[in-house]
């Protein structure tokens, strides 16, 4: 172990500091497409019973009107976190009628024409229209199909008191928020170094419907009549077939300091991009079709496996919040939906993520240079497309190293973090989660991606039939466990309140939309 990791673990092993780990906070955002009983994309409006997608705190939409996003309250306890996610699912299913939630990251049966994929609608307020027009921009820039990919976002933070203790131990006298922000950025650098391991362990999208890539060049192999795959892929969602695009391929976002990251985002959102400029901000009918013609409309358009985050105020740009108040937590964005878990992610996975992220936070994190940035990107790309390939070699500081050996070595190092979390919580669940991942490195058949391919084969080599069967099973799991009357009443009250809040926001607007967009985009990071 590095001195930094050893010293930090020694400090946090002390009883007074170990208790600080109980203050780690978690949140889950789970995306799922609404589908009809026959597996086609739902074209119905956001169900009224779910409340307002603009203002509801736990149930909203992402890109498409059919792409639900279920958001847990922040929790310090993993069991409480998953209890919240379970209850949100049970309420949601009760409002869906005959519709289901698609259980895969890669889309269901999409309409043949992009125009038939509905973009999320948030009402007529300025902030609602901003969210809608931003999504129109994604449609004209990348097409609608790519925006229908779904995933799990895992939010994680260490308590400020823990960062303060680490700062004191290291003799760092910077303002607490500055120290905390830079340590989160260091966590991100380590995460990017080792994210290939998460793709191997949890990637669950090795195959897609052929319709998803209709008209696009690809190098996938045919599987059955209507499916495509790569035999050793772990997560096509995170490959260049999913959340990637040519426009952003040359974007060099720096994570060597928060100031560097903010500068990179400000540059990307301020660089004119000729193909987007040719489209213009308005269509032939004079309607808004993108917020601006820059490389990124806003920083949220940047596709990244992880982001530094700060809770924003209404109408505030994320980069402005970071510049003003620093990093509050990180958002892991590379996790596929687990098609075998009704909630899309298991508590065991969350516990391993805590171990992994704690390791990334405490381990020494050298600055990136162009060579190391290219290396980590190549390792990630190899893992998502060829992760289960026997003997696959990655590059560790320029030296070839097998994914299996490197992964097992990392788990050995992460084990100390798992032990510390076990001791803090008086459990063995964290070490058990680590052991399960070690088994996957010894036997690739145990990985979700391998299991998915085996089950697709059992469904006649049809990705669609496998996914539809899982979707039906998960619907039954929730429908057969309705909420009690008091809980149902509380959810309905929350939904009604969100609708009233949207109405109030729409009534309170005092400026026209053009002026609102101008003021929003003019915020300085």
CA end-to-end span of the chain, whole Å?
Answer: 37
Distance CA 137, CA 118 (A): 13
Distances, alpha carbon 470 to alpha carbons 38, 206, 385, 463, 466, in Å: 13, 16, 24, 11, 6
DSSP state of 401: E
Distance CA 30, CA 161 (A): 29
Handedness of CA 129, 131, 136, 140 (dihedral sign): positive
Judged against a pLDDT cut of 80, whether residue 2 lies above it is answered with: no
pLDDT value of residue 106: 96
Give the distance from CA 406 to its chain's centroid: 25
Q: Quick one: 215 exposed, middle or buried, by C-beta within 10 A (0-12, 13-18, 19+)?
A: exposed
What pLDDT digit, counting tens, does each position of 469-480 carry?
A: 999 999 999 999
pLDDT value of residue 248: 72
pLDDT value of residue 397: 94
What pLDDT digit, counting tens, does each position of 324-352 carry?
A: 999 999 999 999 999 999 999 999 999 99
Distance CA 394, CA 404 (A): 10
Average pLDDT over residues 312-320: 88
Average pLDDT over residues 264-278: 91
Distance CA 29, CA 150 (A): 10
pLDDT category at 249 given cuts 50, 70, 90 is low
| Helix locations, 443-484, DSSP H | 448-458, 463-479
pLDDT value of residue 250: 66
Distance CA 119, CA 474 (A): 26
pLDDT value of residue 422: 97
The pTM for the full model equals 0.96
Average pLDDT over residues 68-81: 98
pLDDT value of residue 410: 98
Judged against a pLDDT cut of 70, whether residue 450 lies above it is answered with: yes
DSSP state of 4: H
Average pLDDT over residues 507-514: 97
Give the per-residue SS3 of 85-133.
Answer: HHHHHHHHHHHCCCCEECCCCCCCECCCCHHHCCECCCCCCHHHHHHHH
Angle between helices 347-362 and 429-442 (to 10 degrees): 90
Q: Point out which residues pair with 208 in neighbouring strands.
A: 228
Average pLDDT over residues 38-61: 97
pLDDT value of residue 218: 87
What pLDDT digit, counting tens, does each position of 86-102 carry?
A: 999 999 999 999 999 99
pLDDT value of residue 524: 62
């Amino acid at each position: 172990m590095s001195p930094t990791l050893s010293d930090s673990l020694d400090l946090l092993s002390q009883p007074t500091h170990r208790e600080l780990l109980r203050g780690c906070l978690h949140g889950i955002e789970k995306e799922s497409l609404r589908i009809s009983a026959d597996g086609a994309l739902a074209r119905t409006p956001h169900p009224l019973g779910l409340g307002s997608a603009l203002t509801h705190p736990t149930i909203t939409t992402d890109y498409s009107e059919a792409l639900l996003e279920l958001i847990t309250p922040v929790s310090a306890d993993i069991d409480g976190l998953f209890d919240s996610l379970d209850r949100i699912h049970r309420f949601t299913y009760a409002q869906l009628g005959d519709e289901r939630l698609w259980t895969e990251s890669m889309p269901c049966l999409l309409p043949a024409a992009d125009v038939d994929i509905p973009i999320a609608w948030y009402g007529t307020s300025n902030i609602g229209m901003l969210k809608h027009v931003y999504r129109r921009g994604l449609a004209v820039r990348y097409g609608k199909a790519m925006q229908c990919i779904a995933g799990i976002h895992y939010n994680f933070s260490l308590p400020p008191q823990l960062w303060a203790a680490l700062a004191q131990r290291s003799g760092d006298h910077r303002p607490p928020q500055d120290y905390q922000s830079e340590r989160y950025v260091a966590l991100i650098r380590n995460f990017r170094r080792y994210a290939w391991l998460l793709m191997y362990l949890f990637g669950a999208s090795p195959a897609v419907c052929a319709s998803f890539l209709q008209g696009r060049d690809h190098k996938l192999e045919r599987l059955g009549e209507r499916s495509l795959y790569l035999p050793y892929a772990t997560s096509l969602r995170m490959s260049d077939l999913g959340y990637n695009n040519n426009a952003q391929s040359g974007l060099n976002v720096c994570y060597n300091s928060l100031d560097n990251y903010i500068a990179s985002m400000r540059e990307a959102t301020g660089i004119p991009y000729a193909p987007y400029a040719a489209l213009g901000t308005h269509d032939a009918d004079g309607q808004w079709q993108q917020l601006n013609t820059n490389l990124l409309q806003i920083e949220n358009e940047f596709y990244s496996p992880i982001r530094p985050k700060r809770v924003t105020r209404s109408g505030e740009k994320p980069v402005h919040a970071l510049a003003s108040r620093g990093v509050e937590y990180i958002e892991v964005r590379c996790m596929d939906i687990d098609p075998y878990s009704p909630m899309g992610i298991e508590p065991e996975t969350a516990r391993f993520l805590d171990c992994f992220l704690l390791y990334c936070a405490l381990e020494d994190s050298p600055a990136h240079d162009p060579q190391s940035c290219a290396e980590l990107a190549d390792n990630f790309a190899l893992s998502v497309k060829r992760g289960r390939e026997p003997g696959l070699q990655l590059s560790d500081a320029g030296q070839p190293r097998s994914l299996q050996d490197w992964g097992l070595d990392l788990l050995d190092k992460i084990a100390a973090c798992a032990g510390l979390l076990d001791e803090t919580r008086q459990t063995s669940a964290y070490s058990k989660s680590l052991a399960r991942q070690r088994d996957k490195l010894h036997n690739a058949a145990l990985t979700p991606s391998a299991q998915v391919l085996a089950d697709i084969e059992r469904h006649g080599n049809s990705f669609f039939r496998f996914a539809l069967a899982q979707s039906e099973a998960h619907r039954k799991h929730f429908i057969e466990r309705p909420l009690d009357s008091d809980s149902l009443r509380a959810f309905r009250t929350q939904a009604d309140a969100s609708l009233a809040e949207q109405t109030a926001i729409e009534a309170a607007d005092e400026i026209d939309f053009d002026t609102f967009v101008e003021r929003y985009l003019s915020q300085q990071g």
